[in-house]
Amino acid sequence: MLGKYQYWLYQEQLDKKTCAKIVKHFDKIKHKSFKGKVGIKSKVNKGVRDSNVVFSNESSLYSIIGPYIDNANIRAGWNVDVDWNETIQFSVYNKKQHYDWHTDSLEAPYGKESAKMYQGKIRKLSCCVSLTDPKKYEGGEFYFSFGKDKTPIKIPEFKKQGSLLVFPSFIFHKVTPVTKGTRHSLVNWSLGAPWR
């Protein structure tokens, strides 16, 4: 399925004003934030993931990132069949916070306990957006791991503010601990019918 490209990177596509506007939007609802959870049972596990998250269905956010996801799907040659997007997640990583190796794929399609529009679908494409000026934090590096050897591959270009990274949701990735400052990012998942 991967073909030639394992991820698609757009460097510094969103200007500083747009990034600041997104952060401001989430600042207004940060009282709804909670600790990021992991696994099919959605539990807090700080050994794997330590970050604060809040979700939003603000339509303007989908308008900003949607075209990049669609374009990456075509240009990378994946041509994945997706027909819905999950609620957008805003992640905040303060000093020592991180997210260890994981995939965004779930073990099974969303079931009846999920929102109706998610039922029977799986995560197929992930999109991450870097919102913070890299001069304002240290650490918080994004890594991928491909293939059997699981060699970590650092994606330093993604750290540039306004960059977007699109990749198949089954690929292993992580965010190293932030050592100074605060890192803000946006995450979204595109859904579709299970792989055939």
At residue 153, the pLDDT reads 94
Q: Residue 122: what are its φ and ψ, rounded to 5°?
A: -130, 160
What pLDDT is attached to residue 155?
96
Report the candidate in 9, 3, 1 with the shortest Cα–Cα distance to residue 173. 9
Question: Residue 15 half-sphere exposure, CB side, CA atoms within 13 Å?
Answer: 1
- pLDDT for 14 equals 98
List, for the chain, all residue ranges whose pLDDT scores fall below the cut of 70. 1-2, 40
Q: Which pLDDT score is estimated for 75?
A: 97
Which residue type sits at 55? Answer: F
pLDDT digits (tens, 9 = 90+) for 127-141: 999 999 999 999 999
The structure's pTM equals: 0.94
CA-wise closest residue to 186 among 85, 48, 54: 54
pLDDT tens digit sequence for 67-101: 999 999 999 999 999 999 999 999 999 999 999 99
For the chain, the domains span: 1-30+48-95+113-142
Q: Residue 144: how many CA atoms within 13 Å on its side-chain side?
A: 20
